Amino acid sequence: MTTENNPALDTIADAPRPGRLREFWHYFRENRGAVFGLFVFMSFILVAILADIIAPHSPTEQFRDHLLQPPFWQEGGSTQFLLGTDPVGRDMLSRLLHGARYSFFIGLIVVTLAVSGGVLTGLIAGFAGGWVDTMIMRLMDVILSFPSLLLALVMVAILGPSLVNAMFAIAIVLQPHYVRLTRASVLGELPKDYVTSARVAGASTFRLMFITVLPNCLPPIIVQAALSFSTAILDAAALGFLGLGAQPPTPEWGTMLSEAREFILRAWWVVTLPGIAILVTVLAINLMGDGLRDALDPKLKRS
């Protein structure tokens, strides 16, 4: 009997696997903070995508007649600049909205780089074993023995201060976590029967790595990716604040804070608002990350 001509079997094969996503959502939904975090994160992505449309002004246009104008609810503010203007007369709201775009892309690119590099390296370490494994893991130990921000700082200093170099440096610094996680999961999966049976059935090492084993290693990696997203945003903002990340007049939140430092006692809004933006975004992602961990990784106790 062939399966091709049997409609009953076809539908079974085509039906989505019962409830993987639903089960995930069931657990994720239990954590109210996580759902709230997801909601905020979605709005953040929306703002990042639509920044050009919803921002009332250009983020770099300088309104020379409106320097350091306070937000609209304070005396001297106007609804033309809802959240006030900065020391050179740029609209704060527009800069903050565009800043979301930078932070989102920083997070996305850093996590993509760190995860793809780290997972690949981790798979190689786990499958190869022997001296290859030892070499890779020792190298990761070396990277991990530097404070991440300091290593990123020095790398940026060498490559030259820019947002691209900062993202690259942060990705390298975050990578060892993925290498370790992936390798540990691979070593846990390799002795299992399904891997042996795939190997006996003649699966190539490549197929074993990416199709047989990798999907079963993903949950902790996904959780770590969510947490790295917030680390990337925080570290990039810190580098920007120290003058080694995005360069003015880029409306990156950390860079905005660094430009606003000398006005802290005169104009609270230029200092407070970019920080709130960073805090809210990072907090939302961390809330979401906690929920993801609870839902995806039963090994890490639900507490």
Partner 1 sequence: MISFLLKRLGTFIPTFIGVSIITFLFIRILPGDPIILMAGERGMSDERYAKLMAQFGYDQPLLTQYWNYFTGILQGDLGISFKTKKPVWDEFFALFPATVELSLCAMVFAIVLGLPAGIIAAVNRGKWPDQALMSTALIGYSMPIFWWALLLIIFFSGMLGWTPVSGRISLLYYFPTDTGFMLIDSFRSGQKGAFTSAVQHLILPTIVLGTIPLAVIARQTRSAMLEVLSEDYVRTARAKGLSPFRINGIHALRNAMIPVITVIGLSVGTLMAGAILTETIFSWPGIGKWMIQAIESRDYPSVQGGLMLIAVIIMVVNLIVDLLYGLINPKIRRT
Which residues of the chain form contacts with partner 1 (CB under 8 A)? 33, 138-139, 141-142, 145-151, 153-154, 157-158, 160, 230, 234, 237-238, 241-244, 254, 257, 261, 264-265, 268, 271-272, 274-275, 278-279, 282-283, 286-287, 290, 301, 303
Cβ 6 to partner 1 shortest distance, Å: 50
β partners of residue 85: 91
Name which of 209 and 220 has its Cβ closer to partner 1. 220
Nearest approach, Cβ of residue 164 and partner 1 (Å): 16
> Which residues have CB under 8 Å from 77's CB, separation 6+?
69, 70, 71, 84
Close Cβ partners of 149 (under 8 Å, ≥ 6 residues apart): 235, 238, 239
**What does the alpha-carbon distance between residue 209 and residue 190 come to, in Å, rounded to a whole number?**
10
- Is the Cα torsion angle 232, 234, 237, 243 positive or negative in sign? negative
Question: Rounded to an integer, what distance in angstroms lies between the CA atom of residue 153 and that of residue 237?
Answer: 12
What is the nearest approach in angstroms of partner 1 to the Cβ of residue 172? 11
**Smallest separation, CB 93 to partner 1 (Å):** 18
CB 173 within 8 A of CB 113: no
Nearer to partner 1 among residue 89 and residue 275 (C-beta): 275
Least spacing, CB of residue 2 vs partner 1, in Å: 52
Q: Enter the tokens of residue 30.
A: 């239990």
As beta bridge partners, residue 91 has 85
